[in-house]
Amino acid sequence: MQQEFFSSLEKILYEQNIEEKFNQFSHFYDNFKSKKIVFNHDQIGIFKENINSNLKFIHPTRIRRPKFVNSAHSLAKMIHSIAHIEFSAINLALDASYRFKNLPKQFYIDWLEVAEEEIKHFKLLNSVLKELGFKYGDFSVHDNLEAALKATQNSLNFRMGVVHRGLEAKGLDANPFVVAKLESSNHPTKTLLKEILAIILHDEIKHVKKGDYWWKFSNDNQYNFLDICKLFNQFSLAGRKLNVNARLQAGFSNEECENIANFYT
């Protein structure tokens, strides 16, 4: 019996048990790649809050990031923060695949691939957390990405611009700073973590590039990216210092990078 794409994704998207969620996705994705999935674009979507009850949420400004990461606790806190971003990104990729219908098949291929890679990132980070004696959910997190999901729920163009060309590109900006912080650590896991961060950076450039493509594809109103930054000024869509090289690989122009840097200065 063939699986239907949207009804299957709905179960995966809202599954609260993380291990079960990943198992369901793996089975679904194997079937998708084997062309055993059928699309019913008339399927009525059910959209609801998707906040894991095991997580402790606080306002983003109350998140305290350790300046030094020499102890297992401070290192785990930093890893947990990145792992939460990766887990949120899983749901964002699944939500995009589930929410937006009647698009070219490549759209669904792209965002399921993103979901698979975000799951890989989360598992890598979570394994290090466990080695340090912690688990996902041990530290407080913010719901900034969930807020971005809600703010862009009715527009493919805004979703691609704000989340995947905006907040994911902000992750590209943050990566070198996290690596630099690790360089100052004397903890033995820092080499492994730097390898994981290199994998994440490589994959996230591809993710932002997909966001760039589908933002431009859906940009009927011909917004430029600064328009998106202004329209959604409740979110900061760039880091304090841009990772220009990574952004250029992901579809930004030099002129855009200069304009973005000036906008957030």
pLDDT the model gives residue 161:
97
Residues near 19 by Cβ (< 8 Å), separated by ≥ 6?
none
pLDDT the model gives residue 55:
74
- Average pLDDT across each block of 10 residues of the chain; the chain has 265 residues. List them in order: 90 95 98 96 81 70 68 91 95 97 98 98 97 92 89 96 97 95 88 96 98 96 91 94 98 96 93
CA nearest neighbour of 244 among 194, 173, 181, 166? 173
pLDDT the model gives residue 64:
67
Q: Strand (E) positions, the chain?
A: 3-4, 37-38
pLDDT the model gives residue 61:
63
pLDDT the model gives residue 143:
84
Q: In 10 A of CB 188, how many CB atoms?
A: 7
**Exposure string for 136-156, b = 16+ CB within 10 A, e = fewer:** bbebbbbbbbbebbebbeeeb
How far apart are alpha carbons 175 and 171 in whole angstroms? 6
Residue 128, token pair as written in the block: 């290090």
Residues near 218 by Cβ (< 8 Å), separated by ≥ 6?
156, 157, 160
How far apart are alpha carbons 64 and 131 in whole angstroms? 22
How far apart are alpha carbons 97 and 11 in whole angstroms? 13
pLDDT the model gives residue 222:
83
Fold (topology level) of 66-263 = Ferritin (1.20.1260)
Are 229 and 237 spatial neighbours (Cβ–Cβ below 8 Å)? yes
Q: What distances in angstroms separate CA 245 from CA 173, 183, 215, 242, one per listed residue?
A: 10, 21, 20, 9
Domain boundaries, the chain: 1-46, 66-263
**Tens digit of each residue's pLDDT (9 = 90 or more) over 58-113:** 766 666 676 767 788 999 999 999 999 999 999 999 999 999 999 999 999 999 99
pLDDT the model gives residue 186:
87
Residue 3 pairs with which residues in a beta bridge? Answer: 37
pLDDT the model gives residue 157:
96
